[in-house]
Amino acid sequence: MAEIKCIDLCKSYQQGDAVIKALDHVSLDIGPGSFVCLSGPSGSGKTTLLNMIGGLDELDKGEISIDGQRVDLLAKGPLADLRLNHIGFVFQAYNLIPVLTAQENVEFVMQVQGVPTGERRKKSIAILREVGLEGMENRRPAQLSGGQQQRVAVARAIVSQPKLVLADEPTANLDSISAKHLMELFQELNENHGVTFIISTHDERVMRYARRLVKMQDGRVIEDLEQVPE
Amino acid sequence: MSGTSRLPLGAMTRMAWRNLWRNHRRTLIMLLAISVGVWAMIFMTALMRGMVDQMIEDGIDSLPGFVQIHNPEFQDDPSVENSLPEPGPELLRALQNPEVTGWTTRVRVPAMISSERDSRGATLLGVDPEGEVALGFDPESIVEGRFLQGPDDNGLVIGRKLLDRLETDLGKRIVVMSQDSENEIADRGFRIVGVYKGKLAALEETYIYAGRSTVQSLLNMGSEVSEIAIKGHDYRDTGRLFEVVKQAAGKEVEVKTWAELDSYLGLMLGVMDGFVLVWVVVIFLALSFGLVNTLMMAVFERVREFGLMQALGMKPSAIMYQVLLESVMLLLLGLLAGNLLAIFSIWPIQDGIDLSVVAQGMEMMGVSSILYPALKLKDIVLANVVVIFLGILTSLLPAWRASQYRPVEAIAKT
């Protein structure tokens, strides 16, 4: 379980002569075991907020802490350790390592963590079965469809049961059945294992699974609602 | 779980291997460049080493021996006055030392040699033929007639070139004139009993051989000699031999190694190792541009992947290791191919390459017309170490570059 506190986050990008405010004084408290969906139009700041929480980008201003640990103050090394051991990422584009097979991609994080081979194999085969990729373990990303690649990326993010999963449009390339299956898997991990999920999405079907819905626009939080999930 | 933020070596190696072959053509071109570079380093070094070794060996065999004993004044004034007695008992004992493989005494004086048609300046050598052969004189180099048969042989052996210059022939009489121990002109008629072909052209015109006792008698020297020449096991390592001889010879005489006696040859040996290093480094520098370019290309193509690895928790240093490992793998493959190429291209020519087409030019440098490549382990090791060491150094820039991307920017790259 992870408790996330975001206080007065600001981030601007220079685009030609214009300054784009990607995050404009965003403050957010996300309790342990939450299931949060960030929604809003493109350019509203959802992905930037996920990147900031995951320590992938630097803030202009503000504070982020995960379980009391200030993410924005961490050096590259400790930040890498935090991501490795506590955060699972699912990116908008599938982002798999092209020279590794599906199973090796799933095992990648566990390998870096130093998980013994036997345990790694067992977990990776089980999670691939769970995301519907049984029999495709030895295929390289180029031999998988977009949806299959996304499922590998999801499997990689959740296989070592991090306390926080940051997912950017995880169902963007999935058919409705696969998307439903994936969201049920997220829900199960959230409810039974206490994994905190923060998901950025445009997909109404995904939003229905969230217990909290945060709407963003122009880098600001415009609505923050609690809801009863499906 | 704390983790090492780095893949285990086996997984890193597997990934590096697969990454290498992502772009077959580029990797093969780079491998070809490295292996040809390494081949050039080793092959050319073997040729140069062979040429210099032969130059030195021919030079040493052509008179000096490894160590020589002289009267201290002899180097400045090589006349009969500056001679020295035959080896005493202490020196004779030292010459039985296992470090000594052969020794001889010589009379060496400047002389004038005249035929019916011409006269030339030469160096008259009064030698013990058995001792000369032990020191390196090749009896096979006698192309006409015979070599001397003993120290009291009355015949004269001269070089082919000198014979031609004097317009004389085998069996004809010539006059040799020099200065005796009382500074009087001493001359004597000799019959030419043998003609030799020298390994070095210059020596053929300079040295004439007569029996030592005959020359001693001509110059009224009694039993005195001009030099004592001693040979050992390895001309590169004359230290112990020099010490043994120096200790036994006493302080009244001067003991010098071949490198001191022939400073040109000595310098060649000293300079060769440095020259090989410079040669290897120069080839590597040419190679390094290709290596850096290849690695940089490989890094730029995979920016997104490096960003992803960082996002998943790999530390920048681990990404640097990953790129360095790929570079080391490329270098090792190139080295393997280059070494094999060099060994298998030197193998068929180990019996020598006939350079007689350019032999005249080679002889001017003191090299004979057959070149024997000398493949030395230390040269192979040097080439390999330089390529690996400088290769890793050269790869540091692309590797560092790969580790410095900010994950969010790298992942956004298409």
**Chain A, window 204-223: residues with a beta carbon less than 8 angstroms from a chain B beta carbon:** none
pLDDT less than 50: residues of chain A: none
- Smallest CA–CA separation between A162 and chain B, in Å? 11
- What's the average model confidence in pLDDT over B211-218? 93
Q: Taking CB atoms and an 8 Å limit, are B2 and A81 in contact across chains?
A: yes
pLDDT tens sequence across A104-125? 999 999 999 989 999 999 999 9
User: Can you tell me the mean pLDDT for B233-258?
Assistant: 86
Question: How buried is residue A63: exposed, middle or buried, by Cβ count under 10 Å (0-12/13-18/19+)?
Answer: middle
Is residue B310 within 8 angstroms of chain A, CB to CB? yes
pLDDT at B4 over 60: no
- Counting one residue from chain A and one from chain B, the pairs whose CB atoms sit within 8 A come to 88
Under an 8 A CB cutoff, do A80 and B315 touch? yes
Lowest pLDDT segment from A71-75, A119-123, B69-73, B248-252 = B248-252
> Is A81 part of the contact surface with chain B (CB cutoff 8 Å)?
yes
Instruction: Determine the structural domain holding residue A193 and report its residue range.
Output: 4-226
Judged by a CB distance cut-off of 8 A, whether residue A100 touches chain B is yes
> What pLDDT does B366 receive?
58
Residues in chain B within 8 Å Cβ distance of A98: 22, 305
- Whether residues B315 and A89 touch (CB distance < 8 A) is answered with no
Which CATH number is A92's domain given? 3.40.50.300
List the Cα angle A10/A14/A19 in 5-degree steps: 65
Concatenating the DSSP letter of every residue in chain A gives ---EEEEEEEEEEEETTEEEEEEEEEEEEE-TT-EEEEE-STTSSHHHHHHHHTTSS--SEEEEEETTEEGGG--HHHHHHHHHHHEEEE-SS----TTS-HHHHHHHHHHHHT--HHHHHHHHHHHHHHTT-TT-TT--GGGS-HHHHHHHHHHHHHTT--SEEEEESTTTT--HHHHHHHHHHHHHHHHHH--EEEEE---HHHHTT-SEEEEEETTEEEEEEE----
From residue B188, give the alpha-carbon distance in Å to each of B179, B180, B368.
11, 12, 34
Distances (CA, A) of B330 to A95, B39, B293: 26, 16, 13
Question: Which pLDDT value is given to residue B1?
Answer: 45
Count: domains in chain A = 1
Core vs surface per residue B1-30: b (16+ CB within 10 A) or e: eebebbbeeebbbebbebbbeeeeebbeeb
At B3, the pLDDT band (50, 70, 90 cuts) reads: very low
Q: Does A80 touch chain B (CB under 8 A)?
A: yes
- Nearest-Cα distance to chain B for A84, in Å, is 4
Q: What is the ipTM of this complex?
A: 0.89
- Does A124 touch chain B if contact means CB atoms closer than 8 Å? no
Contact B1 A113 (CB under 8 A): yes
Angle at B384 between CA B382 and CA B390, to 5 degrees: 95
**Residue B367's pLDDT is what?**
62
Q: Do B318 and A109 touch (CB under 8 A)?
A: no
Tell me, what amino acid is at B39? Answer: W
Nearest CA in chain A to B5: A112
Q: What is the pLDDT of residue B145?
A: 94
Q: Quick check: A56 and A74 in contact, CB under 8 A?
A: no
Q: Which of A76, A91, A95 lies nearest to residue B316, judging by beta carbons?
A: A76
What's the pLDDT tens digit per position in B38-53? 999 899 889 888 888 8
Kindly report the nearest CA distance between residue B296 and chain A, in angstroms.
19
Tell me which of A15-24, B66-75, B200-209, B389-398 is least confident: B200-209
Q: Kindly identify which residue of chain B lies nearest to residue A84, measuring between CA atoms.
A: B313
Provide the residue ranges of all domains of chain B, joining segments of one domain with +: 9-59+266-412, 65-261
Token output for A114? 């130093």
- Could you tell me if B406 lies within 8 Å of chain A, comparing CB atoms? yes
Residue to test with chain B: of A15, A47, A108, most B Cβ within 10 A: A108
**Contact residues, chain B, for A97 at CB < 8 Å:** 15, 305, 308-309
Contact flag B314-A84 (C-beta cutoff 8 Å): yes
DSSP 8-state assignment for residue B69? E
